[in-house]
Structure formats: structure tokens, C-alpha cells
């Protein structure tokens, strides 16, 4: 038995219709609708030219500084997958670069998240393939293993299981568990529509901010 060096089967993943409808929802609204309890960490920032990330998680738990299992995952990825790589947050060696990312883009991968470093930032920022990472370094990786594919991982406390929904935008990334997508979408979509109404009121100069004064009074603030 090889502990920590295994390719697990992925038994379920979110469908394309679910992925598509979440593309129109801001990550902040998804996060608020999940009671602000889910967060991939502020270090995971978008590095690409721009655009929304949305797809089904293909998880990789990789030894820091090594990317053998990321290569193995690329050989098994399907169009629409998001490679979510937990490399321990270490920034010593880049886990992915231009060649691997170009291949991912060519096979239809929806995006890449690396809890670690990447390289070839010039290529990344010139392309639309969504890439989120914790840092950048020119020093490349080793290819020895071990690691696991389709294992449960956690990024800064955010648990991700294979097939869960991953959404990312300029504010960062969020994971919506497979069995919660419908409830979260309904709440996040309502919040987004409510915010659109508030924005319209702001532009019209009719926004009601009386709630602030009520909150101050209710909290016992002096001098109102």
C-alpha cells in the first residue's frame, strides 16, 4: 500500500448547466450567500488577462516543489475541469509554467489554481486561461512525487472535494460543495439582483441609507 501516492477515481462532478449559470454570479455574492465561511485565502490571486473561472474541481495534492502528479492530472483532465493544486503554499519552486498551461488550455481545461508558485508570468497575463496562484518564481519543479489525484484537499481552511464547483474572479476563488449548488445559486442570484437595484438607486440619487442610523442606535452609539 502506497500512502500519499495514489490516483483516486472521481465519482461525481457538477454538470455543465450548473457551471454556466454560476459564471454570471460574482464570487463575493456567492461567498456572502454561504455566510462568509468559505474562502480560499487572500494569497490566491488571478494572474491571467481577465475573465471568470468556473468548472468542476480536479484536485491534486502535490509535494511542495514537485509536479509529477500535476502532469498525471493533465493526462486525465476533461474539458471544463479546474485543476486545483495544493502544493502546500510553498513558493520555492514553480509548479506550472507556460508549456503545461498551454497544454491545459488546448485540451479545454477551464482554469488552474495553484496553492504555490507558477512561472512564465508573461504568458499567463497575455492569455485568457484563468490562472490563480500564491506567487511567481522562475525556479522550476522536480518530478518525483509523491502526491494524490482526486483526494479531498483544503486551501486556507476551504475544503474542496473532487467534482465540487469552483468559481473565481478578481476577488479570488470560492468552492461550492457539489450537493449545495442549487441552494447557493438561488441565494447568490437573489443577492446579485438586490445589489443591482441598489446600484440603480445610487445612480438615481434615491438610495435609502437610513439603516445605518438605525444600526447605530440599536448598538447604543452615543452622539447620534
84: which strand partners?
59, 113
In a domain, 152, yes or no: yes
Q: Are 155 and 133 a contacting pair, CB within 8 Å?
A: no
Q: For residue 116, what is the domain's CATH number?
A: 3.50.30.40
- Is residue 223 domain-resident? no
Tens-place pLDDT, residues 126-182: 999 999 999 999 999 999 999 999 999 999 999 999 999 999 999 999 999 999 999
pLDDT at residue 201 in the model: 97
- ∠ CA 104-30-150, nearest 5°, is 40
Question: Helix, strand, coil proportions of the chain in percent (round to 5)?
Answer: 30, 25, 40
Residue pLDDT, tens place only, 45-91: 999 999 999 999 999 999 999 999 999 999 999 999 999 999 999 99
Q: What's the number of domains the chain is made of?
A: 1
Is 97 among the annotated ligand-binding positions? yes
At 29-44, the pLDDT tens digits run 999 999 999 888 899 9
The residue whose grid cell reads 491571467 is 48
Q: Which three cell numbers stand for residue 136?
A: 511567481
Q: Is the pLDDT of residue 2 over 90?
A: no
Distance CA 15, CA 149 (A): 20
134, part of any domain: yes
Note whether residue 205 is domain-resident.
no
99 is in an annotated binding site: yes
Kindly write down the DSSP assignment for every residue of 116-184, as one continuous string.
EEE--HHHHHHS-S-EEEEEE-S---B----EEES--EEETTEEE-TT-EEEEETTEEEEE-GGGHHHH
The answer to whether residue 129 is domain-embedded is yes
Mean pLDDT, rounded, for 16-27: 98
**CA 72 to the chain's CA centroid:** 21
Q: Let me know if residue 195 belongs to a domain.
A: no
Could you read off the pLDDT of 186-205 as tens digits, one per residue? 999 999 999 999 999 999 99
Taking all residues of the chain, what is their mean pLDDT, rounded to a whole number? 97
Asked whether residue 59 is domain-assigned, the answer is: yes
In a 3-state reduction of DSSP, which class is residue 54?
strand
Domain of residue 71 covers: 6-178
Cell of 221: 452609539
Q: Which of 43, 96, 72, 80 is nearest to 150 (CA)?
A: 72
Ligand-binding site membership of 120 (annotated)? yes
pLDDT at position 1 is: 63
- pLDDT tens readout for residues 105-140: 999 999 999 999 999 999 999 999 999 999 999 999
Question: Does 92 have pLDDT greater than 70?
Answer: yes
* 49 within domain boundaries: yes
Amino acid at each position: 500500500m502506497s500512502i500519499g501516492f495514489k490516483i483516486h477515481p472521481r465519482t461525481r462532478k457538477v454538470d455543465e448547466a450548473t457551471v454556466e449559470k454560476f459564471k454570471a454570479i460574482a464570487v463575493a455574492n456567492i461567498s456572502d450567500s454561504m455566510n462568509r465561511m468559505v474562502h480560499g485565502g487572500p494569497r490566491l490571486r488571478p494572474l491571467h488577462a481577465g475573465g471568470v473561472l468556473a468548472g468542476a474541481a480536479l484536485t491534486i495534492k502535490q509535494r511542495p516543489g514537485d509536479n509529477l502528479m500535476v502532469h498525471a492530472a493533465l493526462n486525465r483532465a476533461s474539458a471544463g475541469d479546474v485543476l486545483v493544486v495544493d502544493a502546500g503554499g510553498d513558493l520555492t519552486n514553480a509548479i506550472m509554467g507556460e508549456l503545461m498551461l498551454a497544454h491545459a488550455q488546448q485540451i479545454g481545461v477551464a482554469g488552474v489554481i495553484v496553492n504555490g508558485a507558477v512561472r512564465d508570468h508573461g504568458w499567463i497575463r497575455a492569455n485568457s486561461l484563468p490562472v490563480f496562484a500564491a506567487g511567481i518564481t522562475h525556479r522550476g519543479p522536480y518530478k518525483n512525487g509523491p502526491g494524490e489525484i482526486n483526494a479531498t484537499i483544503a486551501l486556507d481552511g476551504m475544503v474542496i472535494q473532487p467534482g465540487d464547483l469552483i468559481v473565481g474572479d478578481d476577488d479570488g476563488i470560492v468552492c461550492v460543495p457539489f450537493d449545495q449548488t442549487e441552494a447557493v445559486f438561488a441565494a447568490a442570484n437573489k443577492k446579485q439582483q438586490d445589489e443591482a437595484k441598489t446600484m440603480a438607486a445610487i445612480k438615481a440619487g434615491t438610495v435609502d441609507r437610513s439603516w445605518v442610523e438605525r444600526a447605530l442606535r440599536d448598538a447604543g452609539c452615543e452622539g447620534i
